[in-house]
Structure 1
Amino acid sequence: MVRIVCSAPSRIDLSGGAADIFGKCTLCSAISLRTYCEIQPSEKPALILEGVPHPLEDAPLIQKALKRAKADHLQVQLSLHSDAPRASGLGGSASMTVSIMYGLSQFHKMETNLYELAEQAQRAETDLGMLNGYQDWYAAAFGGLLFLDFRQKSNKKMEEEPYATVEDLSHYRGAMKFVVADTKVFHSSAVSNDILYQEYMRGVSKVVSLIDRLDTITREAKKAVVHKDMGKLSEIVQENQEIIRTFNRSAPENEQLIEAAYRGGAAACKVTGAGQGGCIAAVCTGKRNQQSVRDALLEETDAVFPVEVDRGVFAESRGDS
């Protein structure tokens, strides 16, 4: 019997988050909160979520992922577990779809094109009518500390768009580490993204100007990482948070955790994901600084996760009998 276990990382965005919807660039990091997918033959299609059987017909995103992988009629059992909190702005749905689709390719012993994997997994979600960017799926597929350029991409059909440009800057990260903390306020990225998209498409000058500004400073953030200029990178992350506030995407619960992270000595801190709840991500200058930030955040919430830059999707194990 073939049994595949694979995993894909979640992610934090450091600069340019949400601008990928508009074909701009982002700086993000895959992190060591992963989604695990176990695939094995079954008498009929079955789904296990966090150890509990779940009707497949009540999981439309997973159904779309199976269809995109041409496996919607495959007799397999999918068992899924995530390290990341649900609906928290860490790209958990992307981590899940990438792990499922990669696992199915491994199940069939097929070679995987990571660009195609990221694009197909992203389309599984847009097939449901959701408006999304691209960085979550590319981060889950490729892993690393990534500069991603989405020029000429605007949620068209796959054959009508180029792949993203992927640059892994992990070699330059030095002692950089992160702490993620969850407000435990669920959010909807689809709603937040749709509001921003409508304003941008109407040409609201303030929104257009700030999206363009995100693109500019994200390119500067890439240079800061390459030159290991933590001071400059911190300034850019902080400016990102100011833009998030202007877009009304930072809830009081986010601000409370950001304040705590700075009390702990964080170099920079911002909302990650669509905001209005979900997680914040703190940039730290090393292990000791990471521990100090973690301790400060634990005074506000028990959902605190010291994390590292992590690898992309891969097969954890494969069994054949």
Structure 2
Amino acid sequence: MTGWLDVHAHYLTPHYAERCRAAGHAMPDGMPALPDWSADAAVEVMAMTGVAAAVLSVSSPGVHFAGDSLTRNQAARDLARHVNDEGAQVVARRPSRFGLAATLPLPDVDGALAELARAFDELGADAITLHTNQNGRYLTDPAFGPVLAELDARAAVVTLHPTSPPGWERTALGRPRPMVEFLFDTTRCVLDLVLSGTLDRYPHIRWIVPHAGAVLPVLAHRAAGMSFLTGDPVDVLSALGRLYYDLAGVPLPVALDGLLAVVGPDRLLYGSDFPFTPAPLVAGLAEGLRQAPALHEALLSPGPNSPGAALFPRLATDVEEP
């Protein structure tokens, strides 16, 4: 298969968009509006940017909109089932062009475990997508241990995606949370996984960190040094080197070089963030990456020995569809 593998692409259904608006997320995370999406539009963008296949996921705000009440949990379970069923149908129609990172109704653990099993065993999902926090609770919350254990048992690929952090009303200063807060919440989530030992407890989960590692390259050495000062030393750099990183967002002209100071090019994957990043901007960012000398040794296509082929073997085929 020629062309890049896009591991950070999103999809929406009309029903999902309707449920978001009904729950007060018509302007998700402070952005102007929910974007439109169709498989045909996605394929057009993929052709424009030289992408062979894309792994689809539901972006923030996910499916569990508020609280932990039984009513909210059931609504989240129903919506997770809906988006996963719809995503699986998109994949079934174009199996060599799309993959699915299934959505879980966390923080509802029982619902998440049931949907995780259904996603892999019935729908054939390629990965699971998890938000950096689940209604204000981070992935190291002990209650989420059974979900991480099941992901570890399946050696699952997990695509992380940021969402609004707890307390964003004060920290975002009135700006859309994807501008700044998303990057810090990604960094907070990943460093928490590292410093808590969670990555070591679940060593078989294969994590993809979004947005060129967010602020991790800047803070990695500081976090490592501080862990020694506090008497709980952690090899942060080694841990970060075991993760994968997509290049969605704005990795040039600065973030990519910072990331490559921490990890090797064999840990890089392409990400478009379409449709939350509009098609013209996706095309411009992709062209910049194609011209970047720093990526000459990176294998962004799902060919032999590439990270994309290792994580998504189903999409590393020679079969292409019109």
- Please indicate the TM-score interval, normalised by the length of the shorter structure: under 0.3
If each structure's helix is expressed as a fraction of its own residues, which one has the higher value? 2
TM-score for the superposition, normalised by structure 1: 0.27
Q: TM-score scaled to structure 2, two decimals? A: 0.27
* Structure with greater contact order relative to length (CA < 8 Å, sep ≥ 6): 1
